[in-house]
Amino acid sequence: MKRILSISLLLAAGFAFAQQKPQPYRMTTPVPPGIATPDKVTTSLGTLSFHDGVPDDATARKVYDNLDAQRALQAYLDALPAVSMMAMVRGLDQFGAVNRTAVMHEARMDSKSLFLTANTNTTYTWMHLSTKNGPLVVEVPPKVLGLFDDSWFRWVGDIGILGADKGAGGKYLLLPPDWKGEIPEGYHVLHSRTYTVWGGFRTFPVNGDYKPGIDLVEKTMRIYPLTDAGNPPALHFEHVSGKYFNTIAPGDTQVFSMIHQFLQEEPNSAIDAVTLGNLAAIGIVKGKPFAPDARMKKILADAAKIGDATVRAMTYRQRNPDAYFYPGSAWRTGFLGGYLFENNGVRELDSYYSFFFYATGVTPAMEMKVIGKGSQYAAAFVDSKGRGFDGSHTYKLHLPANIPVKDFWSLIAYDTQTRSMLQTDQQYPQVGSQSPGLKMNTDGSIDVYFGPKAPAGRDGNWVQTVPGKGWSVLLRLYGALEPWFDKTWRPGEFERMD
């Protein structure tokens, strides 16, 4: 009996061991840690459930909702340049037909126009161009400084002083992305990856007078299809200084409808396969309607809110110390990684996205580091204590003597909502070396004030702000000199005075 009992116990023990450690099959090998997933996994999405590695229905729905949300957020951020361009050309189109109209701020741009971080110091001419029907000729006037960008705000080419014509004026031929025809001689040829091309240039004053430059533009500028080169049509010039119009893209779910429209109008070859994949994952596909269901609409609405918050954080609370000119300073560059926003082939994503939220126009000239030529930019979004600017308070900015410019400098205030010029009683919300009434200190330094009221006797050194409204500022140096580049001269920080 004892022997029978012992055998029974051994059999039971062996069965229990077999239950705990199944006998391997002939081809069984060990599975290294980290490959298999438990049946229950705790994550930021909640508890995820699996049966031997296979997600159950609830878990699959949960992770797909999360995946679609991530792709929607990424699509929102990736779309920022294209959507900004769409808003830009829509704003220009109200003044006349594509390829037939030049929109001119003939007396400088002021704060009535909603236009990303525009400049008040020079006159501008803008163009909405399209090569959808074939190559397009743009006859560029002499003595201008400008550029062409494609629908993704990618640089196509410079025109004027830094372009192929070297400021003498000339004929530029814009080719569509799918052009396979002959290219005639006698043109400065530029290739765009999109049909839409946006162009703009500055004219410069003659003895303080902008009219001669504007007159020269209207006399010599032409835009026409290459097929009409023998008999170019007349070009319409629309003067818009002092007029309200909007070129700012929305930040809500309209972004997704706009990028869908964009995709229908431009070739897929204009962008990379991963971006197209993210767009396709949320229902934005060339040749197909954009019709999100209730689930996807909810995801897109949330992604737009998070996307807007994300790019505002990237812009107003930049976390990369490499973006700042000086340790512990508010002054930062908008061109971290240059005009391509890349370092060693790696895209500086936060800098890239924030630039297209805050500014327009991409060209190597905007970050060119040549002594006494071109322009340099520095932006500030917080005061010396790291606090965002509040228009209820007064701030003082000290600029040491011998501001290093060959030409001129300026400080312009911008609305933190629209990123356009701050709208106050001042037509031009700026102070600069060209400002009437600007006063220097006895040592040659300059103090500039930002606040709701001008300090006594300092109206020429004051930029008006709106109580309760945020603002930012751009310092522009035209013809920057060596002390700017070697940092032996640096602007002060914004000190709140009340």
Residues paired with residue 388 on neighbouring β-strands, in sequence order: 382
Residue 285: inside a domain, yes or no? no
| 368 within some domain | yes
Q: What is the pLDDT of residues 46-73, one digit of tens each?
A: 999 999 999 999 999 999 999 999 999 9
- 213-248: per-residue pLDDT in tens? 999 999 999 999 999 999 999 999 999 999 999 999
**Does 271 reside within a domain?**
no
The torsion of the CA quartet 241, 244, 245, 250, rounded to 10 degrees, works out to 130
Q: Are strands 101-105 and 236-239 parallel, antiparallel or unpaired?
A: parallel
User: Both tokens of residue 405?
Assistant: 């410019």
351 & 235 share domain: no
Instruction: Measure the N-to-C terminal CA separation of the chain; round to a whole number of Å.
Output: 99
CA distances, 405 to each of 4, 46, 205, 393, 478 (Å): 104, 58, 18, 30, 6
pLDDT digits (tens, 9 = 90+) for 304-318: 999 999 999 999 999
| CB of 148 closer than 8 Å to CB of 159 | yes
What pairs with residue 421 in β-bridges?
414
pLDDT band at 23; cut points 50, 70, 90: low
Q: Are residues 196 and 333 in the same domain?
A: no
Residue 245 placed within a domain: no
274: phi then psi, degrees, rounded to nearest 5: -70, -45
What band does 7 get if pLDDT is binned at 50, 70 and 90?
A: very low
Q: Does 18 score more than 60 pLDDT?
A: no
Quickly list DSSP for 75-106: HHHHHHHHHHHHHHHHHHHTTS-TTTEEEEET
User: What pLDDT sits at residue 61?
Assistant: 98
Query: What confidence category does residue 5 fall into, taking pLDDT thresholds of 50, 70 and 90?
Result: very low
Q: Quote the pLDDT of residue 242.
A: 92
Structure tokens at 194: 């999109």
Select from 239, 268, 295 the last residue of a domain.
239
Q: How far lies 134's CA from each of 101, 174, 180, 199, in Å?
A: 18, 9, 10, 17
- Token pair 């004219």 is at which residue? 203
Would you say 377 and 405 are in contact if contact means Cβ atoms under 8 Å apart?
Answer: no
Q: pLDDT of 413-455, one tens digit each?
A: 999 999 999 999 999 999 999 999 999 999 999 999 999 999 9
Burial pattern 214-231, b for ≥16 Cβ within 10 A else e, equals bebbeeebbbbebeebee
Q: What length does the chain have?
A: 498
Q: Do both 459 and 360 map to the same domain?
A: yes
Average pLDDT over every residue of 83-103:
97
* Integer Cα distance of 498 and 494 in angstroms: 12
Per-residue pLDDT, 469: 98
pTM recorded for the entire structure: 0.92
Domain-terminating residue out of 215, 239, 263:
239
Other C-beta atoms lying within 10 Å of the C-beta of residue 261: 15
Buried b (16+ CB within 10 A) or exposed e, 440-463: eeeeeebbbbbbeeeeeebeebbb
How many structural domains is the chain composed of?
2
Closest CA to 374 of 152, 198, 148, 202: 202
What pLDDT digit, counting tens, does each position of 180-194 carry? 999 999 999 999 999
Do the domain assignments include residue 208?
A: yes
CATH classification at residue 358: 2.60.120.600
State yes or no: pLDDT of 2 exceeds 50: no
Q: Are 278 and 71 in contact (CB under 8 A)?
A: yes
Q: What is the token pair recorded at 461?
A: 């050194």
Q: Are residues 235 and 334 in the same domain?
A: no
CA 151 from centroid of its chain's CA atoms: 12
Could you list the residue range(s) of the whole structural domain that residue 116 is in?
96-239
Q: Which of 144, 147, 97 is nearest to 123 (CA)?
A: 144
Same domain, 225 and 355: no
The model's pLDDT over 455-476, given as tens digits with 9 standing for 90+, comes to: 999 999 999 999 999 999 999 9
pLDDT tens per residue, range 377-404 = 999 999 999 999 999 999 999 999 999 9
Q: Are residues 325 and 216 in the same domain?
A: no
DSSP code of residue 461: G
Q: What is the CATH classification number for the domain harbouring 126?
A: 2.60.40.1610
Q: Which of 267, 346, 271 is nearest to 80 (CA)?
A: 271
Q: Of all helices (H) and strands (E), which one includes residue 129?
A: strand 123-130
pLDDT per residue over 111-121, tens digit each?
A: 999 999 999 98
Residue 75 within any structural domain of the chain = no
Closest CA to 299 of 42, 44, 62, 83: 62
Q: Assess if residue 456 is contained within a domain.
A: yes
191 contact partners, CB below 8 Å, separation of at least 6: 156, 175, 177, 179
> In this predicted model, what pLDDT tens digit does every residue of 399-418 receive, in sequence order?
999 999 999 999 999 999 99
Domain membership flag for residue 277: no
Q: Which helix (H) or strand (E) holds 414?
A: strand 405-415
Select from 204, 239, 274 the last residue of a domain: 239
Percent over 70 (pLDDT), the chain? 95
Q: Report yes or no: 134 and 182 within 8 Å, Cβ to Cβ.
A: no
Cα–Cα distance for residue pair 133/37, rounded to 1 Å: 56
Does pLDDT of 16 surpass 80?
Answer: no
Instruction: State which H helix or E strand residue 146 sits in.
Output: strand 145-150
Cα dist. 483→195, 365, 374 in Å? 42, 19, 15
